[in-house]
């Protein structure tokens, strides 16, 4: 015997997720992607732990006045070290 499908309603306990993207739109430009790729090629090792770096981190955070495009404000980090650093910065002050 055929059944009538139930109407699919969203679970009210589940939050709608936005895609995890940085707030600063400069991270999504081709200029940043090229600069990041070049920096990682020349600095392939994480400054914290010595593993392979995947992230270009701003030493002085841009939201606190660090220069976005100045490569002397950049450091190579692996993902886990970058997440730990970002977490520490988020809980400061």
Of 69 and 23, more confident: 69
Q: Long-range CB contacts (< 8 A, 24+ apart) of 57-63?
A: 57/82, 57/85, 61/89, 62/24
Residue 44: inside a domain? yes
Percent of the chain with pLDDT over 70: 76
Q: In angstroms, how far is CA 17 from the centroid of its own chain?
A: 16
Predicted local confidence at residue 63, as pLDDT: 86
Domain count, the chain: 1
Residue 84: inside a domain? yes
Closest CA to 36 of 83, 5, 14, 68: 68
Residue 13: inside a domain? no
Of 15-19, 51-55, 59-63, 78-82, the one with minimum mean pLDDT is 15-19
CATH code assigned at 38 = 3.40.1800
Give me the helices (H) in 4-76, please.
30-42
**Domain range for 52:** 27-91
pTM score: 0.73
The whole-number average pLDDT for the span 19-43 is 88
User: Residue 55 CB: number of other CB atoms within 10 A?
Assistant: 19
């Amino acid at each position: 015997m055929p059944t009538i499908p139930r109407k699919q309603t969203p679970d009210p306990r589940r939050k709608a997720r936005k895609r995890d993207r940085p707030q600063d739109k400069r991270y999504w430009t081709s200029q940043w992607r090229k600069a990041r790729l070049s920096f990682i090629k020349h600095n392939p090792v994480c400054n914290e732990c010595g593993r392979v770096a995947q992230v270009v981190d701003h030493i002085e955070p841009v939201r606190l006045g660090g220069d976005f495009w100045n490569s002397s404000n950049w450091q190579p980090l692996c993902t886990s070290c970058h997440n730990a650093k970002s977490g520490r910065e988020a809980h400061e002050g």
